[in-house]
Structure 1
Amino acid sequence: MLALWIIVAGVLTAGTLVFGRPVNSNVSIPGTDAQRAHDLMRDGFGPGYDPGGTMQVVLYSKDGPLLDAKRKRAVEKAMAEVRKVPHVVQVDTPYRVGGLSSNMMIGVMTVRLSGNDSSKLAETTKQVSAAAEPVRQAGIEAVPADNGTPADKEIKTGSSEIIGVACALLVLLLAFGTLVAAMVPIFTAVISLAVGLGVIGLLGHIVDVPKQASVMASMIGLGVGIDYALFLLSRHRKLLADGVPVHESVRRTAAGAGGAVLFAGGTVVIALSALMLAGFPMLRTLGWITGISVVCAVLTSLTLVPALLGVLGHRVNALRLPLVGPRRDRAHSAANGWAGLGTWVAGRPWRVLATAVIVLGALAAPALAIKLGTVDDGYADRGQSSRRAYELMQAGFGPGSNGPLIVVGELGTKAPAGDPPPPVVKDLKNRLTYVPGVAYVAPAKINASGTAVLFQVVPEYAPSDPRTAGVVRAVRGLHVPDVGLHVGGEVAGMTDAGDRIAERTPAVIGVVVLLSALLLLLAFRAPVVAIKAALMNLISLGAAFGALAIVFSYGLGSRLVGMDPPVSMDGSYLATLFFTVPIDSYVPLMLFAVLFGLSMDYEVFLLTSVRQAYLRSRNNRLAVAEGLGATGRVITSAALIMVVVFVAFIAYPDPLVKVFGVGLAVAIAVDATIIRGLLVPATMVLLGRLNWWCPAWLDRILPNLSITDHAEDHDEEPVTPGPDRRLVTTGQS
């Protein structure tokens, strides 16, 4: 089994190196107005309006105007070189109307492409930038800027994974006290991640794989891969310490903790799969593709970890760290500490419940002011060319130039080509000009068949400004006789995506909660526990969204997480410690799915231990204290690993990665401490025997899939090691 996983990981990794990892962030949303506008753009408007796309090269001459004869010759030479780049069919000079800023020092060279694969736009951008070298030799800054959405920007996280693994290894060394034991979860997670990323990379040849898929798979896959292996390893080492033979210990671990891992991973996959109902194709694809990394983590935990434990035997405790201390004493002390907490909570459940609710309410309250919008290139890392191009465009042409609206009008009467434009086109342009929030309307372009007209409309506001979405809705509200208006462009597309997601969010939340509760019902055969667990997981989401609001919507921590402040109109950076950053409209729903699944992991492990303790003693209060004592240290270690992994990703410059890192880290920290340590035990004590009540009719129809029906309640009995020792299991006590 060990050899098989190593071979699979090696083959898939080699396959991605040989065949590549094609990605395509398809942000089309069928049935929306923006999609209709984009479809019409392809209909006879000439080069640059097909799927190949359009890109721009922003020119900046700090020493004088671009109209200088020497600089103009350099620009014309660069244009000639750019025309030689493959797929370039037209290069619009910056000396056209609207191509130069008012001070004549900033210009825009528009490059129109045809037949270019949109997934290779970054490669084409590099070629165009290299061809513009003549202007740089003349002292002119040339910065390429493509017209892709933020979803098209490539995300690379190699350093974040390394930092996360290093921090996780440190936590594991402190938790286990031996190097060999600490390396088992790390090795398993690395193999799982290699297999998952390999599958996702090769899937890019068959389906559209968003560029965010790799970072999401890395964050979630690395976290759950280490955690699942940690739970299994902790159970196995405890059994070994109690004198159980190696192979019998592996069998019991796989039967008990392995079943919990299977159900826990199932909840994560269910939550991610529910994103298929969001109505946003990219989000739907991102959900099920990210789920692949979770499936790989579960499979490696259930097969590779037992194989490693069988190979290592008692050597799993080898290479003990001298400064950490005896493992059994530390584990016993930690278990007694968590059991003491459980006893303390059981003695005053109402006070603990009230305190936890107040604290969680305070953490979640800021979420009411969370600011959704579009994260444009103005929030990119200051060293990226996209950020520099954004700043130059804003300084020369206003903030709206970075997110122009594409207004396409379907004409009821065929319009003749040439000048002057027909009256209906003039009327439409006049109406667009006087829409509140519109700064500039470019000259009309009529398609070859005369059935549609296209305008580029520049708003007064930046793409990330919520007022820009208002301009989109105002333009769509125009009623021009004999013209059907459609608005496209990045801002319009994200506006439609936000509306579609808001419409589908209740359905997604309902499906996730119901299916997760059903899975817990199958696992524990206790409807009250299943419903309560599903509702408890929603509470940690409030804390996560509250943290996001504090950091990004209030701006109280935007600089602390490495965000660069925006620029003022004169190009200088705003000297402020706090500044707000919008959160993409699809991020909260994605976070909900991921966090709900991850929170259910700890619920499953805690409930499994409490249930087994209850089957032994039939004392609810004692079972809660014992269950918390048995799992508290492991859950805390697992949560700490997840937190450090997610915090490591905050260091990455991409705003989307930072948002996910902050939200996931805060939610897991709150979930493993306040919720699992205080709120869940308090509610279980108050519910008493109702926790495990199940109607007779429901018990008859439920399949026998319970993960607590194994004979693990007898694990405390001493077992004499030996190759001939046979254990007889008696089923549920």
Structure 2
Amino acid sequence: MKAVETGATRRAMTCVGRLAVRRPWQVIIGWLLLTATIGALVAGFGRPVEEDVSLPGSDAQLGRDLVEAHVPGASNATGQIILKIPQGRLDDPANQAAIAAAAAQVRQVEHVVEVVPPSAQLGTISADGRIGYATVNFDLGPREVGHDLSDRVVAAASPAAEAGIQTVPGGALSLPETETRTSELLGLAVALAVLLVAFGGLVAAGLPLLTAVVTLVCGLGLIGLAGHVTGMPSVATTLATMIGLGVGIDYALFLLTRYRALLAAGTPGKQAIVETVASSGSAVAFAGGTVIVALGGLAIAGVPILTTLGWTAGLTVVLAVASATTLLPALLAVLGPRVNSLRLFRARDGEIDDSRWGRIADRVTRHPLRYAIAASIVLLALAAPVLGMKLGQTDAGDQPKGTAARTGYEILAEGFGPGINGPISVVAEPDSPITGPADPRLASLTQHLKATPGVARVEQPRVAPDGALVTVRVIPATAPSDPATIAVVESILDTPVEGMRLHATGQTAIRGALADRIADRMPWLIGIVVLVSALLLLIAFRASVIAVKAALMNLLSIGAAYGALTAVFTWGWGVELTGLDGPIPVEAYLPMMLFALLFGLSMDYEVFLLTAVQESWQATRDNRLSVRRGLAGTGKVITSAALIMVCVFASFVLHTNPVVKMFGLGMAVAIAVDATIIRGLLVPATMALLGKANWWSPAWRWGRQP
């Protein structure tokens, strides 16, 4: 192959391949030491996560920053122990004694600085007396409150549980589920089956799995350690797991396929390894680079959570490229001919013209217009539901039934109304310091908030020690994910209060501002990522039409993913099969993250297909023959790679987090559509129709036509 496999990249990858062949054990030991070191650090220091969302430049973030500047300890974590009794009242003497005993034990837990038991006077016991919550304040930030501390706090509340009172963690104590072992094992099992079919032997099939596992351990470990110095949402590690397994296996699969083909052609073993890294390794490096460039576009949004998800996913891709181009060649150098040992059956490696993909390629190139029209109709139909996509924010009430987060959410909603799960923190800056509780501005502020439509309850205003700030906790009448709750925020801010400047903060307000910012920045992200990707392809293939067409084709698979998300999660088509019990809004930031991620991943298959087509074109100058050979030669490996990635992504639909389910479904659909309808039908059909125009490029730029 030529195209992306020439020039400086090829020379660099040739050096990498030679190093792996000359010093294989040093390379292997280096990876083992790196993996062991990262694993030991994670075991010793843990992997903290933080679900807090920040949004610099927004009014909601300004309000939060003001609170942290004027109220000591405002940034420390606050949890809840949610209590429910089947009969009677929590404020009965016997129950009060049990709750007091539980509170006393919780106070003894390390890092707990205060426990405020439920009280009707504070409004933390429901009207019927059956439901309430104790507030637990910590001397730690939210990211330092891990599962171990949460479990110890809940265990310390055992006197209440022993008295027949249901106890459920809430707030900072209700931590998201980060366990992905089931999805990982399912993805690895499917990958092993596909690799066995592709290679026929356990050793060859096991190598891509080994490099993927190394990628996963190193990537997740580094991301987890980074959680000690920056906010790390739980979805970041889950998304990195998905990407690490998917691309880690795929990249190794591409190299191993090329290596076996060179061996079959009679190339000596060590020379075949160097040639594999120089050629397919260059393509893998380019493909990984396009993914990283697309993820880098997320910085345009100016949203920290997207930036974090972008660099964590990008780090995993870098490690996948590195392990595929260094660790895999070193293992091949050590194994030598034994790479084909432990064969279960003989893989079919016959003439590509006689293969299934050879026959498909023949039909597509003979009747390109028919296949182009049919594929376009199917893709438009798959993308059509996107017109009804409902963006918003998910909350704990969208979690599957039976999870601790969902149970706590429902108990609080039953006792205090749904708005208790998404309180709005109103921050007021007085023109001059508040002199005391009798200051008339406090009464005016409270009256304004109570009169705001959609407000269920207004708690007592709290004045900062310096008198320069007032905070009021407002409970809306609607759930956090309800658009009416965002309308409450807007109503509070739209009506002025004399002598005060108002801000609305808290997770509900910040996520509402997040949705607005993403809507504003999304067109810029699409335009810049498409443009940069097209330029990269132009540099790689020196064919303007191919570069533009490839970039636009990627939009079709993303449209199909958006359509699937809308049909399942917004319209509720088969949503029960995902483990949810009804339609939910698509998380506001998810389409932007999916766009960057899928645009890069889709480019992987485009690069491998176009590289094979261009190689044949440069040899034959027959466009239709080149398209046919390119599709026939890459169809099997692209389909195998895509099947692995689709199964890995789809397995994460089993996760309890609705956002992870959305990522898993959207990415699985996009890759499936991309590898079959787009790369298998539409791309070759349009290339056959365009003929020599595919390879046109301004002669003044490249010096000559390719």
**TM-score, length basis structure 1:** 0.89
Deviation per residue, 1:466-513 (Å, 9 max, x gap): 221121112121112221110011110101111122222222222211
Q: Is the 8 A contact 1:369 1:549 kept in 2?
A: yes
Q: Work out whether residues 118 and 125 of structure 2, in 8 Å CA contact, stay in contact via their aligned partners in 1.
A: no
SS of corresponding position for 2:97:
helix
Render the CA deviation track for 1:22-69: whole Å, top value 9, x for unaligned. 4445522112111122123235557xx611132222111102122322
Give how far 1:170 is off: 0.7
Are the counterparts in 1 of residues 461 and 470 from structure 2 also a CA contact under 8 Å? yes
**Distance in 2 (alpha carbons) for counterparts of 1:663 and 1:6:** 34
**Residues 335 and 632, structure 1, Cα contact 8 Å, conserved in 2:** no
Q: Does 1:308 align with 2:325?
A: no
Question: Is the CA contact (8 Å cut-off) linking 1:548 and 1:663 kept in structure 2?
Answer: yes
Please tell me the residue identity of whatever aligns with 1:611.
Answer: Q
Check if 1:342 corresponds to 2:345.
no
Cα gap change, 1:439 to 1:95, in 2 (>3 Å): closer
Structure 1 stretch displaced more, 278-287 or 374-383: 374-383
Q: Does structure 2 retain, via aligned residues, the 8 Å contact 1:37–1:488?
A: yes
Determine the C-alpha separation between the residues in 1 that align with 2:486 and 2:230: 31
> Paired residue for 1:185, among 171, 192, 208?
208
1:124 offset after TM fit, Å?
4.3
Report the alpha carbon displacement of residue 89 of structure 1 after superposing the two structures with TM.
3.1
1:574-630: CA deviation from partner (whole Å, max 9, x where unpaired): xxxxx2112211111111111111100000000000001111111001110110000
* Aligned residue among 344, 348, 354 for 1:327: 348
Of 124, 127, 132, which residue of structure 2 is paired with 1:107?
132
1:376 is matched with which residue? Answer: 395
> Is the Cα contact below 8 Å between 1:82 and 1:88 reproduced in 2?
no
Match for residue 538 of structure 1 among 512, 533, 555: 555
Distance 2:518 2:46 in 1: 32
Task: Report the alpha carbon displacement of residue 226 of structure 1 after superposing the two structures with TM.
Answer: 0.6
**Displacement after TM superposition at 1:263 (Å):** 0.8
SS at structure 1 position matched to 2:349: helix
* SS of residue matched to 1:667: helix
In the alignment, what sits opposite 1:720? none
Change (3 A) 1:559 1:604: same
Match in the other structure for 2:251: 228
Distance 1:326 1:22, change over 3 A: closer
Question: What CA distance in whole angstroms lies between the structure 2 residues aligned with 1:121 and 1:8?
Answer: 28
- Aligned match of 2:525 in 503, 508, 512? 508
Evaluate the alpha carbon distance shift between residue 194 and residue 75 of structure 1 in structure 2; reply closer, same or farther with a 3 A threshold: closer
Conserved 8 A contact 2:197-2:347: no
Deviation at 1:111, TM superposition (A): 2.6
Where does residue 639 of structure 2 map in the other structure? 636
Please name the residue that 1:216 is paired with. Answer: 239
Shift of 1:333: 6.4
Alpha-carbon spacing, 1:99–1:209, altered in 2? closer, same or farther (3 Å): closer
Alignment root-mean-square deviation, CA: 2.1
Q: 1:570 matched to which residue of 2? A: none
Select 1:527's aligned residue among 541, 544, 555.
544
* Paired letter, 1:581: I
The reply to whether residue 266 of structure 1 matches residue 306 of structure 2 is: no
Deviation at 1:553, TM superposition (A): 0.6
1:341 deviation in Å?
1.6
Q: Structure 1 residues 599 and 335, CA, compared in 2 at 3 Å: closer, same or farther?
A: farther
1:500-549 Cα shifts (integer Å, max 9, x gaps): 22222222222211221122122111121111111111110000011111
1:141 pairs with 2:173: no
**Which residue type is aligned with residue 687 of structure 1?**
L
Q: CA deviation at 1:668?
A: 0.4
Q: Give the Å deviation of 1:128.
A: 3.0
In structure 2, the residue matched to 1:664 is 667
Instruction: Report the equivalent of 1:288.
Output: 311
Contact 2:50 2:233 in 1 (8 A): yes
Distance, in Å, in 2 between the alignment partners of 1:336 and 1:91 is 71
Corresponding residue number in structure 2 for 1:480: 497
For structure 1, the 5+ residue unaligned runs are 566-578, 703-731
Change beyond 3 A, Cα 1:44–1:304: closer
Residues 177 and 657, structure 2, Cα contact 8 Å, conserved in 1: no
Change (3 A) 1:482 1:535: same
Out of 22, 28, 49, the residue aligned to residue 2 of structure 1 is 28
Aligned to 1:98: 123
Distance 1:627 1:5, change over 3 A: same
1:334–1:633 contact (8 Å) kept in structure 2: no
Aligned to 1:161: 184
Structure 1 residues 387-406: Cα deviation after superposition (integer angstroms, max 9, x where no partner):
21111101111111110101
Deviations 1:620-645 (CA, angstroms, capped at 9, x unpaired): 01110110000001100000000111
1:334/1:76 CA distance change after superposition, 3 Å: farther
Determine the structure 2 residue equivalent to 1:722: none
Q: CA deviation at 1:207?
A: 4.1
Counterpart of 2:654 in structure 1 is 651
Secondary structure of the 2:569 match is helix
Alignment check: 8 A CA contact 1:343 1:622 kept = no
Query: By percentage of residues, which structure has more helix?
Result: 2
Structure 1 residue 671 displacement after superposition: 0.3
- Is the counterpart of residue 622 in structure 1 residue 625 in structure 2? yes
Amino acid at match of 1:50: A
What is the CA-CA distance between 1:92 and the residue it aligns to? 4.8
**Secondary structure at 1:549 match in 2:** helix
Shift in alpha-carbon separation, 1:392–1:194, aligned structure 2, 3 A: same
In structure 1, distance between residues paired with 2:159 and 2:536:
64
Q: CA deviation at 1:423?
A: 2.6
Q: Structure 2 CA distance, aligned partners of 1:520 and 1:482? A: 58
What SS is found at the alignment partner of 1:484?
strand
Determine the C-alpha separation between the residues in 1 that align with 2:272 and 2:548: 33
Cα deviation, 1:645-679, whole Å, max 9, x if unaligned, reads 11111112111211111001000000000000111
Report the residue type matching 2:94 in the other structure: K
Query: Residue 80 of structure 1: SS of its match in structure 2?
Result: helix
Describe the shift of the 1:443–1:233 C-alpha distance in structure 2 as closer, same or farther (beyond 3 A). same
Kept in 2: contact 1:60–1:106 (CA 8 A): yes
Quick one: distance in 1 between partners of 2:703 and 2:324?
Answer: 31
Distance 1:664 1:335 in 2: 32
Q: Is the CA contact (8 Å cut-off) linking 1:83 and 1:91 kept in structure 2?
A: no
Q: Write the distance in 1 (CA, Å) between the matches of 2:129 and 2:231.
A: 42
Work out the CA distance in 1 between the residues paired with 2:671 and 2:369.
Answer: 24
**Alignment partner, residue 395 of structure 1:** 414
Correspondent of 2:378 among 334, 359, 379:
359
| TM-superposed deviation, 1:82 | 3.1
State how far apart, in whole Å, the 2-side matches of 1:333 and 1:520 are. 27
Q: Structure 1: which amino acid aligns with 2:81?
A: V
Number of the residue aligned with 1:61: 85
8 A Cα contact 1:45 1:445, kept in partner: no
Aligned with 1:112: secondary structure?
Answer: strand
- 1:2-32 residue CA offsets vs partner (Å, 9 max, x unmatched): 2322232222222322333344455221121
The runs of 4+ residues in structure 1 deviating greater than 6 Å are none
The answer on whether the counterparts of 1:26 and 1:281 sit within 8 Å (CA) in structure 2 is: no
The alignment partner of 2:661 has SS state of helix
Give the secondary-structure state (helix, strand or coil) at the position aligned to 2:342. coil
Pair 1:79–1:184, CA change in 2 (3 A)? closer
Asked if the contact 1:181–1:316 (Cα under 8 Å) also holds between the matched residues in 2, the reply is yes
Confirm or deny: 8 A CA contact 1:77 1:134 kept in the other structure.
yes
Quote the Cα distance in structure 1 between the aligned partners of 2:661 and 2:564. 12
Q: CA deviation at 1:447?
A: 2.1
In the alignment, which of 278, 282, 298 is matched to residue 275 of structure 1? 298
Q: Secondary structure at the match of 2:170?
A: strand
SS in 1 for 2:79: strand
User: 1:442 maps to what in 2?
Assistant: 459
Once residues 155 and 526 of structure 1 are traced to their aligned partners in structure 2, the CA distance between those partners, rounded to angstroms, is 45
Would the alpha carbon gap of residues 182 and 326 (structure 1) be closer, same or farther in structure 2, given more than 3 Å must change?
Answer: closer
State the shift of 1:372 in Å.
1.4
The corresponding residue for 1:171 is: 194
TM-score by length of 2: 0.92
- Check 1:52–1:237 CA distance in 2 against 1; reply closer, same or farther (3 A cut): same
Q: Is the 8 A contact 2:100 2:117 kept in 1?
A: no
Q: Mapping of 1:601-616 within 5 angstroms?
A: 601-616=604-619
- Deviation for aligned residue 1:450: 2.3
